[in-house]
């Protein structure tokens, strides 16, 4: 590919990662084996889902929990258990950032270098750690202690800049605190993460992501779940509301779930079954809705359905009067993919009807 005039080759980060999976004899000779137990656990994962292939992602986490990366042996195991080709499994494994192509160090250190963390120092943290460890992105220190990577947004912007170790959060870091953290990890220590649960290691966390307990005994598991974190940003609004005496409007009186504007008429249960005495027109409208192939068609059909105005808490009999209203048209809502904001929420139509 030729570069545009003036652009330097190799200056930009792209999603392309063509690095090969490590299958060198030296690496493979050192891997702990996948065992019969691994297979049994894989089958346990498969049993969670209506269709076996849904188990593939957790199974790849399982492989990493044994071997620290998605090894050729792990790909083969997944393929065998799911009746897939190794190419099919490999295609999936290489799509996802968390599946590693080379054995991960004892700990995986991820530094968020997306915009928000970076302006607050994330890039400086990454650069300092890379220099200390003598590695680049996605490389492991020679002593095998740490694999360093830059990470995309870790959904912790209110705690920025963040570093994770084996995906456990160390919040509001700076260059010095991050260097201290990594130095401790290299000495074999496990500094306590900010949000509570104690640090384990990459393989333990992979086991949790596969849907298994990584702690071994109930007391340890319980303690990890119940460990308190330092979560001031999470509670910032709540604390301020308490300070200012601000609160949400109170819920209406004794009957939660009752529409407060109910006129006191008995609420008629509109069940999907047992609709008798429909007029031919209503039956035809039902058929239009039922025959709709797409949500868009269905929405259109529902809009012209005589029961369209039937809302919760409004007895159906009263709605009958509403059928003389001209059918509302709502072209945009049904045809807009759910990923786009809808310009015509149903409330607007209900108001007009």
Partner 1 sequence: MPLAPVLTSRWAEPQSWRLSTYERLDGYTALRTALGMSPDELVSLVKDSGLRGRGGAGFPTGMKWSFIPQPKPGETRTGPAAMPKYLVVNADEGEPGTCKDLPLMMADPHSLIEGVVIAAYAIRSELAVIYVRGEAVHAHRRLVDAVREAYAAGYLGTDILGSGYDLELVVHAGAGAYICGEETALLDSLEGYRGQPRLKPPFPAVAGLYGAPTVINNVETLASVPFVVRGGSDWFKEFGPEKSPGPKIYSLSGRVVRPGQYEAPMGTTMRELLEMAGGVRPGHQLKFWTPGGSSTPYFTPEHLDVPLDFDSVAAAGSMLGTTALMVFDETDSIVEATLRFTEFYAHESCGKCTPCREGTYWLVQILDRLVHGRGTAADLDLLTDTCDNILGRSFCALGDGATSCISSSLKYFRDDYVALLPPEEQARLGRSLRLEPVGVAS
Between CA 201 and CA 107 the distance in angstroms is: 6
**What SS3 state is found at 151?**
strand
Identify residues 170-229 at the interface with partner 1 (CB under 8 A).
193, 195-197, 205, 208-211, 221, 224-226, 229
Identify residues 11-70 at the interface with partner 1 (CB under 8 A).
11-15, 48-51, 53-58, 60-61
- Binding span for partner 1 by CB under 8 A among 22-30, 177-185, 232-240, 320-328: 232-240
Identify residues 320-339 at the interface with partner 1 (CB under 8 A).
333, 336-339
Rg of the chain in Å (alpha carbons): 28
Contact pattern from residue 85 through residue 114 relative to partner 1, giving x for each residue in contact according to CB under 8 A and a dash for the rest: ------xx--xxxxx----------x--xx
Please identify which residue in 23, 235, 318, 331 interacts with partner 1, judged by CB under 8 A.
235
Region of residue 274 (left: phi > 0; alpha: psi -120 to 50; beta: else)? left
- Binding span for partner 1 by CB under 8 A among 33-41, 129-137, 180-188, 306-314: 306-314
CB of 34: closest distance to partner 1 in angstroms? 19
E strand map for the chain: 107-112, 139-140, 146-151, 163-165, 168-170
Between CA 192 and CA 194 the distance in angstroms is: 7
CB of 8: closest distance to partner 1 in angstroms? 7
Regarding 299 and contact with partner 1 (CB under 8 A), the answer is yes
The smaller minimum CB distance to partner 1, of residues 317 and 343, is found at 343
State residue 168 phi and psi, 5-degree precision: -90, 140
Contact pattern from residue 243 through residue 282 relative to partner 1, giving x for each residue in contact according to CB under 8 A and a dash for the rest: -x-xxxx-xx---xxxxxx-------xxxxxxx-------
CB of 187: closest distance to partner 1 in angstroms? 23
Between CA 44 and CA 291 the distance in angstroms is: 40
- Residue 146 pairs in a beta bridge with 107
CA atoms lying within 13 Å on the CB side of residue 252:
8
The smaller minimum CB distance to partner 1, of residues 66 and 159, is found at 159
Regarding 319 and contact with partner 1 (CB under 8 A), the answer is no
CB of 67: closest distance to partner 1 in angstroms? 16
Between CA 116 and CA 118 the distance in angstroms is: 5
Residue with tokens 């929990």: 65
CA distances from 228 to 193, 197, 200, 225 (A): 10, 8, 16, 9
- Please tell me the count of residues contacting partner 1 according to CB under 8 A: 128
- Binding span for partner 1 by CB under 8 A among 25-33, 133-141, 178-186, 287-295: 287-295
Among 326, 330, 329, smallest CA distance to 342 is for 330
Please identify which residue in 42, 151, 181, 182 interacts with partner 1, judged by CB under 8 A.
151
- Binding span for partner 1 by CB under 8 A among 25-33, 136-144, 175-183, 344-352: 344-352
Between CA 202 and CA 140 the distance in angstroms is: 13
- Binding span for partner 1 by CB under 8 A among 9-17, 23-31, 35-43, 173-181: 9-17
Residue 57 near residue 63 (C-beta atoms within 8 A): no
């Amino acid at each position: 590919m030729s570069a545009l005039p003036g652009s330097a080759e190799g200056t930009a980060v792209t999603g392309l990662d063509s690095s090969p999976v490590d299958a060198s004899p030296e690496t493979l000779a050192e891997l702990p084996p996948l065992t019969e137990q691994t297979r049994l656990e894989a089958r346990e994962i498969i049993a969670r889902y209506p269709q076996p292939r849904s188990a593939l992602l957790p199974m790849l986490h399982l492989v990493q929990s044994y071997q620290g990366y998605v090894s050729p042996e792990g790909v083969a195991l997944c393929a065998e258990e799911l009746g897939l080709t190794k190419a099919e499994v490999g295609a999936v494994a290489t799509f996802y950032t968390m599946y590693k192509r080379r054995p991960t160090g004892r700990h995986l250190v991820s530094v968020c270098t997306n915009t928000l963390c970076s302006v607050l120092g994330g890039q400086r943290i990454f650069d300092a750690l890379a220099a200390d460890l003598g590695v680049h992105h996605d490389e492991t220190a020679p002593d095998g202690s740490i694999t360093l990577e830059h990470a995309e947004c870790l959904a912790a912007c209110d705690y920025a800049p963040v570093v994770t170790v084996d995906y456990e959060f160390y919040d509001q870091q700076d260059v010095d605190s991050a260097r201290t953290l990594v130095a401790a990890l290299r000495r074999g220590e496990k500094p306590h993460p900010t949000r509570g649960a104690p640090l384990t290691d990459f393989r333990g966390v992979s086991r949790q992501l596969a849907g298994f307990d990584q702690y071994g005994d109930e007391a340890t598991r319980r303690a990890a779940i119940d460990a308190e974190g330092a979560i001031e940003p999470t509670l910032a609004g709540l604390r301020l509301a308490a300070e200012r005496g601000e609160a949400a409007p109170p819920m209406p009186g004794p009957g939660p779930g009752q529409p407060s504007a109910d006129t006191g008429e008995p609420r008629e249960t509109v069940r999907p079954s047992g609709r008798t005495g429909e007029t031919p027109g209503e039956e035809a409208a039902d058929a239009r809705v039922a025959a709709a192939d797409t949500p868009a068609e269905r929405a259109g059909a529902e809009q012209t359905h005589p029961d369209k105005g039937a809302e919760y808490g409004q007895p159906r009999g009263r709605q009958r009067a509403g059928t003389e209203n001209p059918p509302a048209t709502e072209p945009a809502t049904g045809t807009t993919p759910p990923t786009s904001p809808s310009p015509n929420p149903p409330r607007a139509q209900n108001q007009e009807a």
